[in-house]
Chain A
Amino acid sequence: MRKQVPQLFAAIHLGSEQISIQIVEYSELFDIRIVDQASIHVTLGEETFKTGRISFSTVSEVCELLKGYRRMMSEYGVAEYRVVATTAVREAQNQQYIIDQIRVKTGFTVEVVDMPQEIYYKFISIIRTAEAQQLLATRQGIFFVDISSGGLGITLVIDGKIRYQQNIHIGIIRIKESFDKRQRDSVNFNQALAQYINSIISPVKQELGKYQIKYLVLSGSETDLLLKMLGHANDNNLVYVGLAELYKLYNQIQGLKLPQLIKMFDLSETVAEIVLPTIILYHEILSLIKVEELVIPPDRFIDGITKLYIAEKKSSEWLQTLEDYMMSLVKSIAEKYGYDCNHAEQVERFSLMFFDRLAKVHGLGKRERMLLKIAARLHDIGKFVSLRRHYFYSYRLILSSDIFGITEDEKKIIAFIAHYHSKGVPDNDNRDFERLSKQQQVIVAKLSALVRLADAMDRSHRKKVAECDMILKGDELVIGVNSLEDLSLEEWTFLDKSSFFEEVYGIKPLLVRKDR
Chain B
Amino acid sequence: MNILFDKPEYFVNRELSWLKFNNRVLQEADVKGTPLMERLKFIAITASNLDEFFMIRVAGLKHQFESGINKTDAAGLTVQQQLDEISRSVHNLVTVQYRYLTNILGQLENYHMYFRTPQQLEQEAKHWLESYYNNNIFPVITPMAVDSSRPFPFLANRSLNMVISLKKSDGEQAMAVVQIPAVLPRIIEVPTKQQDKIFVFLGDVIKEYCQQLFQGCSLETAAFFRITRNADLFLDEEDAEDLLIEVEKSLRRRKWGQAVRLEIQENCAKELENYLLEALNIGIDDVYEVSGPIDLTCFFKFTAMQDYDYLKYTPIIPQFPADLKSEVEDLFSAIREQDIMVHHPYESFEPVIEFVQKAAEDPNVLAIKQTLYRVSGNSPVVKALAQAAENGKQVTVLVELKARFDEEKNILWARQLEEAGCHVIYGLVGLKTHAKITLVVRKESSGIRRYVHISTGNYNDATAKIYTDIGIFTINDQFGADASAFFNVLSGYSEPPLWNKFIVAPIGLRDKIKELIKREIDHVKNGNTGHIIAKMNSLLDKDIIMNLYEASSQGVKIELIVRGICSLRPGISGVSDNITVRSIVGRFLEHSRIFYFGNGGDEKIFLSSADWMPRNLNERVELFFPVESDKHVTRIKEILTYMLTDNEKAHIMLSNGNYRRAFKRKRSINSQYELYLQAQVSAKQNNLPLQQKFKPNYRKEK
Contacts and interface: CB of A to CB of B under 8 A. Distances in A.
Contact of A38 (B446, B447, B485): B485
A72 B448 contact: no
B441 A33 contact: no
A108 to B, nearest CB: 15
A21 B493 CA distance: 9
B272 interface: no
B498 A234 contact: yes
A38 B494 contact: yes
Interface stretch (A2-10, A79-87, A477-485): A2-10
Given A36-B484, A36-B488, A68-B492, A75 B441 contact: yes
A71 interface: yes
B488 A72 contact: yes
B499 to A, nearest CB: 13
B488 A71 contact: no
Contacts of A71: 394, 396, 423, 491
A41 B367 contact: no
Contacts of B443: 76-77
B366 A40 contact: no
Contacts of A234: 498
Interface string B444-468: 0111100000000000000000000
A38 B448 contact: no
Contact of A39 (B446, B481, B491, B494): B494
Nearest to A69: B493
B508 to A, nearest CB: 12
Contacts of A33: 447
B315 interface: no
B172 interface: no
Contacts of B327: none
A37 interface: yes
Contact of A75 (B394, B445, B446, B498): B394
A75 B422 CA distance: 12
Tier of interface size on chain B? 20 to 34
Contacts, number: 61
Contacts of A36: 481, 484-485, 488
Nearest to B369: A75
B488 A38 contact: yes
Interface string A2-26: 0101101000000000000100010
B33 interface: no
A65 interface: yes
B513 to A, nearest CB: 18
A6 to B, nearest CB: 4
A76 to B, nearest CB: 6
A104 interface: no
Contacts of A77: 366, 443
A34 B494 CA distance: 15
Given A75-B441, A76-B441, A37 B497 contact: yes
Given A36-B484, A75-B394, A6 B495 contact: no
Interface string A445-468: 000000000000000000000000
A67 B189 CA distance: 59
A75 B492 CA distance: 16
A446 B149 CA distance: 101
B602 to A, nearest CB: 20
Contact of B448 (A65, A74, A76): A76
Contact of A74 (B394, B488, B494, B497): B394
A300 to B, nearest CB: 13
B367 A75 contact: yes
A35 B488 CA distance: 13
Contacts of A37: 485, 494, 497
Given A5-B447, A33-B447, A76-B448, A65 B366 contact: no
Interface in B403-438: 423
Contacts of B497: 37, 39
Contact of A25 (B396, B447, B491, B493): B447
A234 B491 CA distance: 25
Interface centre among B423, B447, B481 (most CB of A within 10 A): B447
Nearest to B423: A71
Nearest to A235: B498
Nearest to A33: B447
Contacts of B367: 75-76
Interface residues of A, number: 25
B447 A6 contact: yes
Contacts of A40: 492-495
A37 B480 CA distance: 12
Nearest to A65: B493
Contacts of A68: 491-493
Interface string B388-402: 000000101000000
Interface in A47-84: 65, 68-69, 71-72, 74-77
Contacts of A3: 446
A68 B492 CA distance: 8
A322 B492 CA distance: 37
A507 B366 CA distance: 57
B33 to A, nearest CB: 53
A75 B488 CA distance: 12
Contacts of B441: 75-76
Interface in B76-111: none
A335 B394 CA distance: 56
B511 to A, nearest CB: 11
Given A75-B367, A76-B367, A35 B494 contact: no
A95 B544 CA distance: 52
Contacts of B446: 3, 5-6
A475 to B, nearest CB: 53
B493 A5 contact: no
Contacts of B445: 5
A39 B495 contact: yes
B669 to A, nearest CB: 46
Contacts of B495: 39-41
B233 to A, nearest CB: 27
A35 B484 CA distance: 9
Contacts of B394: 71, 74-75
A297 B74 CA distance: 48
Contacts of A38: 485, 488, 493-494
Interface string A191-226: 000000000000000000000000000000000000
A68 B481 CA distance: 18
A72 B487 CA distance: 10
B493 to A, nearest CB: 4
A306 B495 CA distance: 21
A484 to B, nearest CB: 61
Contacts of B494: 37-40
B87 to A, nearest CB: 44
A7 B682 CA distance: 42
Contacts of B484: 35-36
A38 to B, nearest CB: 3
Contact of A35 (B423, B448, B491): B448
Interface string B462-489: 0000000000000000000100110010
A39 B485 CA distance: 10
Nearest to B444: A5
Contacts of A34: 481
Nearest to B481: A36
Interface centre among B445, B484, B494 (most CB of A within 10 A): B494
A40 B493 CA distance: 7
A5 B447 CA distance: 6
B482 to A, nearest CB: 11
- 10 nearest CB pairs, A to B: A38-B494, A75-B367, A38-B493, A38-B488, A6-B447, A75-B394, A68-B493, A36-B484, A25-B447, A35-B448
Interface of B: 366-367, 394, 396, 423, 441, 443, 445-448, 481, 484-485, 488, 491-495, 497-498
18 contacts: A21-B493, A25-B447, A35-B447, A35-B484, A36-B481, A36-B485, A37-B485, A40-B493, A68-B493, A69-B493, A71-B396, A71-B423, A75-B396, A76-B366, A76-B367, A76-B441, A76-B443, A77-B366
